[in-house]
């Protein structure tokens, strides 16, 4: 029996992870699954509830990963499980190309209403973040009749060919997969801690935006051949890089000057993760196109593209979609997710959670030299670990050690970043205060032991 009381008794380590049962599954994985599918923690899960996961050996961990920002309302939340079960008994699949069904339409309407911008919009539903990115680019190219797309260094947009081409990190994502899709141009991002121009904000005058205008659009591709520019509002896999306050306004102005459509990829940042419904709201910018996924449906595969009505209403009939996109089970889960976020004030809760996390990380930053930078928005916070605060040499091995030590103590963590030296936090937005504090205590103990 899965009881709230039992599962919330965490962390609980009964055998050093990976325990014997996890190890056996690991051997099977190594035998049958290609190593291209990477693994963060060498444990196998048996069950999960709220902010706690339990492995097959009976170890319990506080989950600061949410399955990479997906189970934001906690694992196996009862009311979501119930709507999925009810829907499964009525209709599992028909395909939106074959017949219509209400949950798809209700969700499309909801998404056009909760996204920034009071202009008419439309939404298409898909299965994964990468697929949303693919479709966003298709919509932009068909509408604008311009092939070029600008993307950013250190970005991550997924593993299908267009999404991968747009991704600004070579190893491991792109290794051995060339050639990529034509028409993509890379610009440096506002990674201020490691500014590509070795400048400091605000004295830099946003040199990274100016570079697009003064260099990229003059040397690589003319603006009249660029249909869209795609950016994460906070680079997720890139290490939770949140650009300075005036960055996106400047980027949007540049796009508008040249008739380039702004695509904001909210796959990792949407649905309250940063203390706003969507992260781009922190910068007061209304994108032309948005992609979303992950937390949208509490763990069922679903993603979406939401765009201005004029971009979507004339898309060539039959040129978009797929067999499973907007599956009824995923749609009812997403509708319930949105209902809970509204009803329980989850966005405000996330903002408060962010204040607590930011305060604790700030204190850790004062105590431990290994922490070179602390950044993010709301509860989407990260620490970049360095060997030396002056040289900023990435503390790559130490970061691996942090994840391993934390796991051994009962805390599940993720890393990120160009150098793999960023510890990022993705706790459920509904995590109880006590579990959050315990998790942050474990994180601090871990950082202390690794810094010694
Ligand atoms: C910003 C962003 N876009 C796209 C994706 C790809 O999503 P998926 O793995 O669901 O294809 C990710 C995944 O981490 C992401 O963070």
The token pair that represents 369 in the structure block = 């030299």
* Distance in angstroms (rounded) separating the CA atoms of residues 26 and 33: 10
Alpha-carbon separation of residue 187 from 52, 192, 200, 324, 374 (angstroms) = 40, 14, 18, 34, 24
Q: Is the CB of 74 under 6 A from ligand 1?
A: no
For ligand 1, is residue 268 a contact (CB within 6 Å)? yes
Whether residue 297 has its Cβ less than 6 Å from ligand 1: no
Q: Look up residue 138 and give its two tokens.
A: 């298709």
Which atom of ligand 1 lies nearest, measured to the CA of 269?
Answer: 1
For the chain, the domains span 81-343
The average pLDDT across 167-176 equals: 98
- Counting Cα atoms < 13 Å in the Cβ hemisphere of 169 gives 20
Give percent above pLDDT 90 in the chain.
98
CA distance 159 to 125: 18
270 lines ligand 1 (CB under 6 A): no
- With a cut of 90, say whether residue 2 has pLDDT above it: no
- Reported for 90-97, long-range contacts at CB under 8 A and 24+ positions apart, including other chains, are 90/328, 91/328, 92/327, 92/328, 92/329, 93/324, 93/327, 93/328, 94/328, 95/323, 95/324, 96/125, 96/321, 96/325, 96/326, 97/321, 97/323
Name the pLDDT band for 6 (thresholds 50, 70, 90).
Answer: low
* Residues 239-257: b if buried by 16+ CB within 10 A, e if exposed: bbbbbeeebbebbbebbee
Residues 6+ apart with CB under 8 A from 406: 412, 413, 442, 443, 446
Residue nearest to atom 16 of ligand 1 (CA): 268
The residues, ordered by sequence, that sit 6+ positions from 213 with a Cβ below 8 Å of its Cβ are 254
State if residue 426 touches ligand 1 by the CB under 6 angstroms criterion.
no
pLDDT surpassing 80 at residue 4: no
pLDDT at 255 over 50: yes
Give the CATH number of domain 81-343: 3.40.640.10
What pLDDT does residue 3 have?
Answer: 47
Question: Is the Cβ atom of 353 under 6 angstroms away from ligand 1?
Answer: no
Per-residue pLDDT averaged across 80-95, rounded? Answer: 98
Distance CA 108, CA 110 (A): 6
Pocket flag, ligand 1, residue 281 (CB < 6 Å): no
With a 6 Å cutoff on the Cβ, whether 265 touches ligand 1 is: yes
User: Of all protein residues, whose CA lies closest to atom 7 belonging to ligand 1?
Assistant: 129
236 lines ligand 1 (CB under 6 A): yes
Please state, in angstroms and rounded to a whole number, the distance separating the CA atoms of residues 312 and 144: 11
Ligand 1 close to Cβ of residue 134 (< 6 A): no
Which two tokens mark 341?
């976020």
CA of 283 to the centre of ligand 1 (A): 21
- The pLDDT value given to residue 169: 98
* Ligand 1 closest atom vs CA 265: 1
Burial 390-422 (b: 16+ CB within 10 A, else e): eebebbbebbeebbbbbbebbbbbbbbbbbbbb
Global pTM reads: 0.97
pLDDT confidence tier of residue 7, bands split at 50, 70 and 90: confident
In three-state secondary structure terms, 379 is: coil
pLDDT at 117: 97
User: Residues 365, 193: contact at Cβ < 8 Å?
Assistant: no
> Which two three-digit tokens encode residue 57?
């050996």
CA max distance for the chain: 64
At residue 1, does pLDDT exceed 50? no
Q: Is the CB of 237 under 6 A from ligand 1?
A: yes
Look at residue 435 in the predicted model and tell me its pLDDT. Answer: 97
Q: Which helix (H) or strand (E) holds 231?
A: strand 226-231
Closest approach atom of ligand 1 to CA 159: 11
Q: Which of 1-5, 19-23, 147-151, 244-248 has the lowest mean pLDDT?
A: 1-5
Give the residue, out of 72, 127, 156, with the most ligand 1 atoms within 8 A of its beta carbon, to mutate for a pocket test. Answer: 156
Going by pLDDT thresholds of 50, 70 and 90, the confidence category of residue 8 is confident
Using an 8 Å Cβ cutoff, are 380 and 274 in contact? yes
Average pLDDT over residues 293-322: 98
- Which of the 8 DSSP states describes residue 192? G
Average pLDDT over residues 308-328: 97
């Amino acid at each position: 029996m899965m009881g709230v009381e039992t599962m919330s008794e965490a962390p609980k380590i009964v055998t050093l992870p990976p325990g014997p049962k996890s190890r056996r599954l690991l051997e099977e994985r190594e035998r049958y699954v290609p190593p291209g599918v990477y693994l963060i923690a060498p444990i196998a899960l048996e069950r999960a509830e709220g902010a706690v996961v339990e492995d097959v050996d009976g170890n319990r961990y506080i989950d600061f990963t949410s399955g990479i920002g997906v189970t934001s309302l906690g694992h196996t939340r009862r009311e979501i499980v119930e709507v999925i079960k009810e829907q499964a008994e009525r209709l599992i699949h028909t395909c939106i190309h074959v017949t219509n069904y209400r949950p798809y339409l209700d969700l499309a309407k909801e998404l056009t209403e909760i996204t920034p911008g009071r202009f008419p919009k439309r939404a298409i539903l898909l299965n994964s973040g990468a697929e949303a990115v693919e479709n966003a680019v298709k919509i932009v190219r068909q509408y604008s009749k311009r092939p070029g797309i600008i993307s950013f260094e250190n970005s991550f947009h997924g593993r299908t060919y267009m999404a991968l081409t747009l991704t600004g990190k070579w190893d491991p994502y792109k290794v051995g997969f060339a050639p990529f899709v034509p028409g993509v141009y890379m610009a440096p991002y506002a990674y201020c801690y490691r500014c590509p121009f070795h400048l400091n904000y605000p004295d830099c005058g946003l040199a990274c935006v100016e570079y697009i205008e003064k260099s990229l659009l003059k040397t690589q591709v003319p603006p009249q051949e660029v249909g869209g520019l795609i950016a994460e509002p906070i680079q997720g896999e890139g290490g939770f890089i949140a650009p300075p306050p005036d960055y996106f306004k400047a980027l949007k102005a540049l796009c508008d000057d040249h008739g380039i459509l702004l695509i904001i990829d909210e796959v990792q940042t949407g649905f309250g993760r940063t203390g706003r419904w969507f992260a781009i709201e922190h910068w007061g910018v209304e994108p032309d196109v948005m992609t979303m996924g992950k937390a949208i449906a509490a763990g069922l595969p679903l993603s979406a593209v939401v765009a201005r009505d004029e971009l979507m209403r004339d898309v060539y009939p039959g040129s978009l979609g797929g067999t499973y996109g907007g599956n009824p089970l995923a749609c009812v889960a997403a509708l319930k997710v949105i209902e809970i976020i509204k009803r329980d004030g989850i966005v405000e809760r996330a903002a408060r959670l962010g204040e607590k996390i930011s305060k604790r990380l700030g204190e850790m930053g004062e105590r431990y030299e290994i922490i070179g930078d602390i950044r993010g928005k709301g509860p989407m916070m990260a620490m970049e670990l360095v060997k030396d605060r002056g040289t900023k040499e990435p503390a790559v091995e130490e970061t691996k050690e942090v994840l391993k030590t934390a796991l051994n103590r009962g805390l599940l963590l993720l890393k990120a970043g160009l150098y793999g030296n960023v510890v990022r936090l993705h706790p459920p937005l509904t995590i109880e205060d006590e579990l959050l504090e315990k998790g942050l205590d474990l994180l601090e103990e871990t950082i202390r032991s690794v810094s010694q």
